[in-house]
């Protein structure tokens, strides 16, 4: 067992063997199964329906409160509706909580005035939203996202890089493929490997495989990596001066899993127990003064705001967004 602690423990509670269903959900349930291509055997469907129904009721209650102004964000049912929290975290997260202590620390450069809002998508730094599938490879998508941005900054060319290359080939650096990993381990692999293949040449498969790195298709290199101090001000400075930054967050709440739109603030979020890796591509401020981080996720465009989420900014490091922030140097 790796000494690195994987944050993947959240219990929803066992569903009874013979759950009763609310018939008012029958039509919606069938439509949801069709939309997402879900099929179950006879023994499985009852329990999956019960989990889905509980999630649906939670979403409806939340949205009722949202319309009353009690929340700043809305929820919606999505492809994850039949998963318990435990199942979901095993399949869709995978951020490891610890890493090497020796690393370069971000020092704020002289920029003059840091802009009040910024979206690196508007400047060509960000590839389209990707989907990690049922593989705990969020760390690879986060690492690739910040590396894609730095390669663009250096060369002026935006190239989609290979997450599968990292999933298959960086085990000796501490990563565990679909069972979790850490962005700095990924950067260390690319540095010592002296390359990372393109996504086109080394396609994503959402499962562990044999390492097939081919230097002929490499489109990136890494000279090192920089950690941002635990401060939202420092994170803002880093994003403004460097580009998209990889971060770890606490995503284990149902409110995150079913996020649909608006300003995400979860009062029960942990600022120290992160379980998911994402990419901060900018920040901004709403008309009501609420500040947010613009975050790219790796759960496909059907999740959230076309694959993105606005996470509360300057609210006591909500969900730990500034606790582990890192970017590569190229």
Residue-wise pLDDT for 33-91, tens only, equals 889 888 888 888 888 898 989 999 999 999 998 898 888 899 999 988 888 887 877 76
- For 181, 248, 256, 307, 318, the CA distances from 302, given in Å and listed in that order, are 24, 21, 14, 6, 24
Please indicate, yes or no, if residue 300 is contained in any of the structural domains: yes
Picking from 71, 106, 131, the residue at the C-terminal end of a domain is: 71
182 and 62 share one domain: no
CATH code for the domain of 297: 3.90.70.10
Same domain assignment for residues 61 and 96 = no
- In terms of pLDDT, which residue wins out, 71 or 128? 128
Q: Are residues 198 and 324 in the same domain?
A: yes
- How many CB atoms lie under 10 A from the CB of residue 220? 22
Q: Which among 108, 98, 120, 82 is positioned nearest to 257, based on CA atoms?
A: 82
Looking at the structure, do residues 189 and 269 belong to the same domain, yes or no?
A: yes
Do 279 and 212 fall into the same domain?
yes
Backbone angles phi, psi at 145, to 5 degrees: -60, -45
Domain of 299, in residue numbers: 87-329
Is 113 among the domain residues? yes
pLDDT of 101 > 70? The answer is no
In a domain, 18, yes or no: no
Q: Which of 276, 317, 318, 319 is catalytic?
A: 276
Given 297, 317, 318, 319, the catalytic residue: 297
Does one domain contain both 282 and 140? yes
Q: Do 180 and 229 belong to one domain?
A: yes
Active site residue 276: yes
Same domain, 133 and 198: yes
pTM: 0.86
Catalytic: which of 138, 169, 269, 319?
Answer: 138
134 and 278 belong to one structural domain: yes
Q: Is 7 among the domain residues?
A: no
Find the angle CA(319)-CA(325)-CA(330) to the nearest 5 degrees.
155
223 is a domain residue:
yes
Q: Residue 113 — pLDDT band, cuts 50, 70, 90?
A: confident
55 and 160 co-located in one domain: no
**Whether residues 189 and 288 fall in one domain:** yes
Q: How many domains does the chain have?
A: 2
Residue 93 pLDDT grade (very low, low, confident, very high; cuts 50, 70, 90) = low
66 and 94 housed in the same domain? no
Q: Is residue 121, in this structure, part of any structural domain at all? A: yes
pLDDT at site 81: 87
């Amino acid at each position: 067992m790796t000494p690195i602690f994987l944050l993947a423990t959240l219990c929803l509670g066992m569903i009874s063997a013979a759950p009763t269903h609310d018939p008012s959900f029958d039509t919606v349930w069938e439509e949801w199964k069709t939309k997402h291509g879900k099929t179950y055997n006879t023994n499985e469907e009852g329990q999956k329906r019960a989990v889905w129904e509980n999630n649906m009721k939670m979403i409806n209650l939340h949205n009722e409160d949202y319309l009353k102004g009690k929340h700043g964000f809305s929820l919606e049912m999505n492809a994850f509706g039949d998963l318990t929290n435990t199942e979901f975290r095993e399949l869709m997260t995978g951020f490891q909580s610890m890493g090497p202590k020796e690393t370069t620390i971000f020092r704020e450069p002289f920029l003059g005035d840091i802009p009040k809002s910024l979206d690196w998508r508007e400047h060509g730094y960000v590839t389209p939203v990707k989907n990690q599938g049922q593989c705990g490879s969020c760390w690879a998508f986060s690492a690739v996202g910040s590396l894609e941005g730095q390669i663009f900054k250096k060369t002026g060319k935006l190239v989609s890089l290979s997450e599968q290359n990292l999933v298959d080939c960086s085990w000796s650096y501490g990563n565990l493929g679909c069972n979790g990993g850490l962005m700095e381990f990924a950067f260390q692999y690319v540095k010592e490997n002296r390359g990372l293949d393109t996504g086109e040449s080394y396609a994503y498969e959402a499962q562990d495989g044999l390492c097939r790195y081919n230097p002929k298709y490499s489109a990136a290199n890494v000279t090192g990596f920089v950690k941002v101090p635990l401060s939202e001000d420092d994170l803002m400075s880093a994003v403004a001066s460097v580009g998209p930054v990889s971060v770890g967050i606490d995503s284990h709440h149902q409110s995150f899993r079913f996020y649909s739109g608006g300003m995400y603030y979860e009062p029960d979020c942990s600022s120290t127990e992160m379980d998911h890796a994402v990419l901060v591509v900018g920040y901004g401020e709403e008309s009501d003064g609420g500040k947010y981080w613009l975050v790219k996720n790796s759960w496909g465009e059907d999740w959230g705001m076309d694959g993105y989420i606005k996470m509360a900014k300057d609210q006591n490091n909500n969900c730990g967004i500034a606790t582990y922030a890192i970017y590569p140097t190229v």
